Amino acid sequence: MHLVLTYFHGIQGPSVLLSYPDEKLEGDLINKLKKFFDLDIDETFFEIILITKKKKIVNFHFKLDSEWARGKKEFAMLSLIMKKEYESELVYAFLVDTSYKILKTENVYKAFYKDDEFHDNDIEIDANYEQIKKILFTSLNSLIERIEDKIKGINKKEPFPFSK
């Protein structure tokens, strides 16, 4: 399982900001994620099945307020790459909860400018980048734990309640 955060870079277009675990994603998979980001669809949540790669990619688009972005909005997409089939409702709840954790982080938009030359001296960039990294880590580990619990027959009442 792999959790990826893609965003719209003002010059390069869709770019991968972070992925967890840290192991490198295949180049063609990264290109596919960038193309999925650009799909002209009205849905915020959609699934793609790559039959030849035996992978399912579940995507969730969301926007966040930004003082630095054109139009004052950053566009982002969380993608969960899986080899096995899981309940769409569980994955949807997970992606919504993870995006909520990102959205409620103060000045989180600054993390999207980590590799931007214009904002080199802003220490909040690195702090927010690390915060997103931590969110992806804890969220994915929580999902894995819930899936393992479900396999063992332990049922949680709320699949992914929004964070406090």
Domain presence at residue 159:
no
18: DSSP letter = E
Contacts of 103 by beta carbon, 8 Å cutoff, 6+ apart: 62, 64
Beta strand 45-50 with 13-20 is unpaired
Specify if 162 maps to a domain: no
Residue 3 · residue 78 · CB < 8 Å: yes
As for how many domains the chain has, the answer is 1
The region, left, alpha or beta by phi > 0 then psi within -120 to 50, assigned to residue 71 is left
Residue 115 has pLDDT above 70, yes or no: yes
Residue 50 covered by a domain: yes
Q: Could you read off the pLDDT of 13-61 as tens digits, one per residue? A: 999 999 998 878 888 888 889 988 888 777 889 998 888 888 999 999 9
Question: How many CB atoms within 10 Å of residue 129?
Answer: 19
Could you tell me where the DSSP H helices lie in 12-162? Answer: 27-37, 88-103, 123-152
Number of neighbours of residue 56 by Cβ within 10 angstroms:
19
> Domain limits at 85?
2-152
Q: What is the pTM of this model?
A: 0.87
Answer yes or no: is 161 within a domain: no
Assess whether pLDDT exceeds 50 at residue 164.
no
Q: Report the alpha-carbon distance of residue 89 to residue 112 in Å, rounded.
A: 28
